[in-house]
Amino acid sequence: MSFLTIDKATKRFGGLTAVNEVSFTLQEGEIAGLLGPNGSGKTTLINLVSGALPVSGGVITLEGKTLSSRRPDVVARAGVARTFQLVRILPSLTLMENVMIPAVFGAKAHWGRAAEVVAETALAQVGLKGREGLRAGDLTYIDQKRLELARALAAEPRLLLLDEWLAGLNPTELQQGIALIRSLRETGITVLMVEHIMEAVRALCPRALVMNSGILIADGETGAVLSDPQVIAAYLGQVDAHA
Amino acid sequence: MRIFLTYALPLAALALLAIAPLYASAYQLGLLLGIATYVTLASAWALFSGHTRYISLATVAFYGTGAYTVAVLNESLPYPMVLATAGLIGAGLALVVGLSTLRLAGIYFVIFSFGLSELIRELITWYEVNVTGTLGRYIFLDLTPQDIYWQMLGLGAVTIALTAWIHRRRLGLALRVIGDDETVAAHSGIHLARVKLIAFVLASTIITLAGAIASPRWVYVEPSIVFNPTVSFLTVIMALLGGANRLWGPALGAVPLFLIFEWLSSDFPDTYPILLGLLFIGVVFLLPHGVLAGIEQLRQRRKA
């Protein structure tokens, strides 16, 4: 049985079909990149998997358990964590409190020192060790991104959904970010990452999936997918691609 | 020092406040009762709204319901049963209202909560006029002002103790996260509806009990008295003045504002609503996060 199964997932907003019968599976421990031009439906698909949006059709399962159209807290407790396209931290809380939240309310429901240990481990994993007592609102942009990732890791997830987590970083920060995500591979977490930065996709994802206008147009080995004429056309437009 | 501030000081203050009626004049006792009532209301309001930032103007809906329950039942049931019934009615009403409205966010929740108070007042008025044929009711209970004050003081102490306990539990953390970002809360495993409903029902039950306890002071009640919207507005502004997301913030705001309200309404009976409005605007502009947060900011600036 596949780890994550997305079977004809569809999302319609009135007359617009943002995700149109998308189907694919992920094996446990796999890291896959989800690509596509702006408005192609990538974030909507992440929202369907994480429970932020109910599906209009199709089924999404994690090891046979249905995730689609479940509340986000139910999906989170099933072992799915996510980051957001626009970084979302809780500015008035400390770093420790930010990261403790999924440890406390996730599947394992840690409390007290046990939750702190999980949070400390996650903060150390992303390089924020020793800053637990700082207010999250006082962090730099890259550190806010690290914090958001630490919060996702503190959920001790089995599936991690990263929505353009590397966007907006400078070249040095990007290399740090790539190294950080690469280190997750050793933990065995399955990762589905929406990403526009090809350098990162090539470095991190053996497999790439490409969406365009809500449809999955390519799925395979990253190098082959990125040189697929249909994918190039989707990114550059038909005329440019043929030129 | 920490144990002194957390336990000994509040308990000593509570003991002092408990014996205060033995030495107070009737007027001073009236002031103490008013302060205890608003400390309870503002603290209970903050239990739900302080961290979630759902601004509720439904305080008087529950407060008035508590008072009216006593007015209806005071001659047919023993007093403790009347209080228990009021609490149950408040909890039931909060459950129904919460289930149907806590999905509303921001201004929509504010408007709904204000509308709820008006709706309940009008419904009771309609019922009294058209079914019972009389608008007002009398409350004849063998309770002295001291008895009422001690009950209210006890309810206020329980409210603050309950809030302190919740702050240290999962529920408290969940409420803080919901107030900061509901999306993050939901994706972290927090059942939004359940957490908000628990806090809303707890707060509303306390507010209903406060209305029930305070009602014998009026002797005569009618909807326009017990469902006065000023109660809702005063409660909000008191909690905001002190700091709605801090344990002692609402109490700190309630004491001076109640005294100012008393002074304005007795010395400037015609213009006090205008002065009160200006005061509200001033609080929101100058101390949007409350006095306690303002003091903390000043301290941090001095350190820096």
- 3-state SS, A12-70, equals EECCEEEEEEEEEEECCCCEEEEECCCCCCHHHHHHHHHCCCCCCEEEEEECCEECCCC
Residues A235, A237: Cα–Cα separation, whole Å: 6
Please tell me the predicted confidence (pLDDT) of residue A237.
65
Residues A167, A208: Cα–Cα separation, whole Å: 18
Structural domain boundaries in chain A: 1-79+158-243, 88-156
Which residues on chain A are in Cβ contact (under 8 Å) with B186?
Answer: 51-52, 71-73, 76
pLDDT (average), residues A168-183: 89
Range of lowest pLDDT (A22-31, A76-85, B241-250, B294-303): B294-303
Greatest C-alpha distance within chain A: 62
The length of chain A is 243
pLDDT tens digit string along B222-272? 998 899 998 999 999 999 989 888 999 999 999 999 999 999 888 988 888
Range of lowest pLDDT (A200-204, A221-225, B131-135, B237-241): B131-135
Residues B128, B223: Cα–Cα separation, whole Å: 9
Please tell me the predicted confidence (pLDDT) of residue A184.
85
pLDDT (average), residues A187-212: 93
Please tell me the predicted confidence (pLDDT) of residue B11.
93
Kindly tell me if the per-residue pLDDT of B295 is higher than 60: yes
Residue A48 sits at the chain B interface (C-beta within 8 Å): no
The DSSP bridge pattern shows strands A215-221 and A207-212 to be: antiparallel
pLDDT tens digit string along B182-227? 999 999 999 999 999 999 999 999 999 999 999 999 889 999 889 9
Please tell me the predicted confidence (pLDDT) of residue B269.
87
List the CATH code of the domain at A1-79+158-243: 3.40.50.300
Please tell me the predicted confidence (pLDDT) of residue B291.
81
Q: B275 in a domain, yes or no? A: no
Among B97, B95, B55, B33, CA closest to B233: B55
Please tell me the predicted confidence (pLDDT) of residue A20.
96
Q: Across the interface, do B189 and A102 touch by the CB < 8 Å criterion? A: yes
Residue B183 sits at the chain A interface (C-beta within 8 Å): yes
Residue A114 sits at the chain B interface (C-beta within 8 Å): no
Please tell me the predicted confidence (pLDDT) of residue A83.
96
Which residues on chain A are in Cβ contact (under 8 Å) with B185?
Answer: 101
Q: B151 in a domain, yes or no? A: yes
pLDDT tens digit string along A108-167? 889 999 999 999 999 999 999 999 999 999 999 889 999 999 999 999 999 999 999 999
Residue A158 sits at the chain B interface (C-beta within 8 Å): no
Q: Across the interface, do A71 and B183 touch by the CB < 8 Å criterion? A: no
User: Minimal Cα distance from B179: which residue of A?
Assistant: A90
- Look at residue A141 and give its three-state secondary structure: helix
Q: Compute the mean pLDDT over every residue in chain B, rounded to the nearest whole number.
A: 91
Kindly tell me if the per-residue pLDDT of A239 is higher than 50: no
Please tell me the predicted confidence (pLDDT) of residue B106.
76
pLDDT tens digit string along B62-102? 999 999 999 999 999 999 999 999 999 999 999 999 998 87
Would the ipTM clear 0.95, i.e. be above it? no
Please tell me the predicted confidence (pLDDT) of residue A116.
95
Query: B250 is written with which tokens?
Result: 């609402």
Q: In what order do the strands lie in the sheet with A215-221?
A: A80-82, A159-163, A190-194, A31-35, A207-212, A215-221
Which among B174, B181, B192 is the nearest to A88, CB-wise? B181
Residues B76, B294: Cα–Cα separation, whole Å: 50
Q: Across the interface, do A101 and B185 touch by the CB < 8 Å criterion? A: yes
User: Minimal Cα distance from B181: which residue of A?
Assistant: A90
Range picked from A89-98, B36-45, B107-116 for highest mean pLDDT: B36-45
Q: Compute the mean pLDDT over every residue in chain A, rounded to the nearest whole number.
A: 92
Among B184, B8, B165, CA closest to A98: B184
- Give residue A66's pLDDT band: very low, low, confident or very high (50, 70, 90): very high
Q: B281 in a domain, yes or no? A: no
Which residues on chain B are in Cβ contact (under 8 Å) with A151?
Answer: 184, 188
Residue B53 sits at the chain A interface (C-beta within 8 Å): no
Which residues on chain A are in Cβ contact (under 8 Å) with B181?
Answer: 88, 90
Which among A51, A93, A106 is the nearest to B176, CB-wise? A93
Residues B14, A20: Cα–Cα separation, whole Å: 64
Which among B170, B180, B191 is the nearest to A90, CB-wise? B180
Kindly tell me if the per-residue pLDDT of B13 is higher than 90: yes
- In degrees, rounded to 5, the angle at the alpha carbon of residue B125 between the alpha carbons of residues B120 and B127 is 95
Please tell me the predicted confidence (pLDDT) of residue B68.
93
Kindly tell me if the per-residue pLDDT of A243 is higher than 50: no
Which among B173, B187, B191 is the nearest to A104, CB-wise? B173
B283 within 8 A of B240, measured Cβ to Cβ = yes
Kindly tell me if the per-residue pLDDT of A238 is higher than 60: no
User: Minimal Cα distance from B178: which residue of A?
Assistant: A90
pLDDT (average), residues A235-240: 59
Query: B46 is written with which tokens?
Result: 């903050």
To the nearest whole angstrom, how far is the Cα of B10 from the nearest Cα of chain A?
26
Kindly tell me if the per-residue pLDDT of A240 is higher than 60: no
pLDDT tens digit string along B103-144? 777 788 899 999 999 999 999 999 989 998 888 899 999 999
- Give residue B301's pLDDT band: very low, low, confident or very high (50, 70, 90): confident
Residue B189 sits at the chain A interface (C-beta within 8 Å): yes
A88 within 8 A of B184, measured Cβ to Cβ = yes
Q: What are phi and psi of B189, to 5 degrees?
A: 105, 10
Query: A111 is written with which tokens?
Result: 């409390």
Among A193, A189, A190, A242, CA closest to A222: A193
Distance of CA B150 to the CA centre of its chain: 17
Element (H, E) at A171: helix A171-185
Q: B272 in a domain, yes or no? A: no
| Helices and strands (H, E) in chain A, number of each type | 10, 10
Please tell me the predicted confidence (pLDDT) of residue B29.
96
Report DSSP letters for chain B, one per residue: -HHIIIIIHHHHHHHHHHHGGGT--HHHHHHHHHHHHHHHHHHHHHHHHHHH------HHHHHHHHHHHHHHHTTTS-HHHHHHHHHHHHHHHHHHHHHHHTT--THHHHHHHHHHHHHHHHHHHHHIIIIIS-S-EE------HHHHHHHHHHHHHHHHHHHHHHHTSHHHHHHHHHHH-HHHHHHTT--HHHHHHHHHHHHHHHHHHHHHHHGGGTSEE-HHHHT-THHHHHHHHHHHHH-TTSSSHHHHHHHHHHHHHHHHHHH-TTTHHHHHHHHHHHHHHH-TT-HHHHHHHHHHHHH-
Residue B276 sits at the chain A interface (C-beta within 8 Å): no
Residue B14 CB-density burial (10 A; 0-12 exposed, 13-18 middle, 19+ buried): middle
A:B CB pairs within 8 Å: 67
pLDDT tens digit string along B139-159? 999 999 999 999 999 999 999
State the residue range of the domain holding B180: 2-228
Which among B170, B180, B186 is the nearest to A73, CB-wise? B186
A57 vs A13, A17, A63, CA distance in Å?
12, 11, 19
Q: Across the interface, do B170 and A151 touch by the CB < 8 Å criterion? A: no
Interface test with A, best of B51, B187, B191, B195 (most A CBs within 10 A): B187
Residues A222, A18: Cα–Cα separation, whole Å: 24
Residues B280, B167: Cα–Cα separation, whole Å: 28
User: Minimal Cα distance from B191: which residue of A?
Assistant: A73
Tokens 């009640």 correspond to: B221
pLDDT (average), residues A82-86: 94
Q: B253 in a domain, yes or no? A: no
